[in-house]
Every structure is written in structure tokens, then in C-alpha cells.
Chains A and B, each alone.
Chain A
Amino acid sequence: AQSVTQPDIHITVSEGASLELRCNYSYGATPYLFWYVQSPGQGLQLLLKYFSGDTLVQGIKGFEAEFKRSQSSFNLRKPSVHWSDAAEYFCAVGNFGNEKLTFGTGTRLTIIP
């Protein structure tokens, strides 16, 4: 069965600092991977996805993520965070032949001035 681990429950960064949120997945074949963001009281918004091809993918709001097969990772990065990036971030994995996604437990991001 596929699984997703987001090892950091809560991260605090200063505004303007760089950010990396970790995501590790467990699945035998090539997965497809997503990052979503959830602002308080809202649903999930898609930031970016990896399906195939270039392992560095660009998303909305200045985010990017890199798929590393050897490390089973799909970490999310942003070079300079803004106060509006404070939210909860979820990594999700899917696989061919299965319409369902498996979500990580999320990482809550706090931005300090």
C-alpha cells in the first residue's frame, strides 16, 4: 500500500527566509505526487503536481518541488516566504490504476516577522 510521510508537524520561518517542507512516499512503482495548501477554514488548493518528465516542477505562488526517486522524496521549496504563506501544507501520492490519493498528515507553517 502506498503511504506518505511528512516528518515535520510544525515549522516556523521568518518572513523572507527560504523554506523547504519534506515529503517522503512509499510505493513500488512511479507515483504521481501533489502538494496542496490549506488556509484556515478553507479547502485544499493545488500548488503543483508531478506526473512524469522533468523532476523539478514549478507551481503557483512561487513554489517548486523536486521529485527524487532515489530518496523517495518530493520536497516543497520556496526561496523567500511571505506572511501570506502561513497555512497547512499537504503532500499526496497517487498511482496508476487507482483513482484515490493518499495524503500526508500535513505540515503547519508559521511565518514570523
Chain B
Amino acid sequence: DVKVTQSSRYLVKRTGEKVFLECVQDMDHENMFWYRQDPGLGLRLIYFSYDVKMKEKGDIPEGYSVSREKKERFSLILESASTNQTSMYLCASSLFRVGQPQHFGDGTRLSIL
């Protein structure tokens, strides 16, 4: 079974802090994704990466950056956290092959005070 692990289930930070969310997958997947999930809005893609050091913006990249230095690890960075970034963040991974499903971690519920 694919295992996608997010480093924290719950996180509380203050406005203006730099926040790191970490995600690790153990199945040698090429693709990794960061989403945020808000009630009534479903999942919205923030960034994705299809290879080490490669990244593409998703639908809502503003206020976020990412880092992928190793294949198994994909980090989401909030450069200066704001209250409107309070949300559930989900990481996913998939094989670089047509039709492959994405496999999700359990999510990080981030609160910015």
C-alpha cells in the first residue's frame, strides 16, 4: 500500500510566521501535489511537482511556495502566514502515468491566529 505521511495533523501558528508543511511518500511516485480543502469549495490545487526540483503552479499558488529536493519529499511553505490561510492541507502523490489515481495523506489542519 502507498503511504503518504504528513508531518503534523494539527498545527497552530501566528500571523506573519514562516510555516513549513512536510509530506513524504514511500512508493517512488514521480508526482506530488499540495491541495487546500475548505468547506463548500472542495479541493483546490496549490502546487504540484512531477520531478525533483520541478514544480508547477496550481489554481491558488499566491502566498505559497514549495520545495522538492528529494523524490520522496514535498514541502509546502507559507512565507508569511495570514489568517486566510487557515485551512486543511492535503498532500497527494501519483505515478507519472496516464490514468493513475492520486494517493492522499491524512491532512494537516492549520490554524493561523
Pairing of A with B: yes
Residue of B with least CB distance to A94: B99
Which B residues touch A46, using CB under 8 A? 101, 103
A43 vs B98: C-alpha distance when bound (angstroms): 23
Category for how many chain B residues contact A: 20 to 34
Let me know if B61 is at the binding interface, CB within 8 A. no
Known: A34-B101, A99-B50. A90 touches B106 (CB 8 A): no
Q: Which of A46, A97, A99 has the most CB of B within 10 A?
A: A99
What residues of chain B have their CB less than 8 Å away from a CB belonging to chain A? Answer: 4, 9, 31, 33, 40-43, 45, 48, 50, 58, 90, 92, 94, 96, 98-99, 101-107, 109
Q: List 6 A-B contacts (CB under 8 A).
A: A43-B107, A44-B43, A51-B99, A96-B98, A101-B102, A105-B41
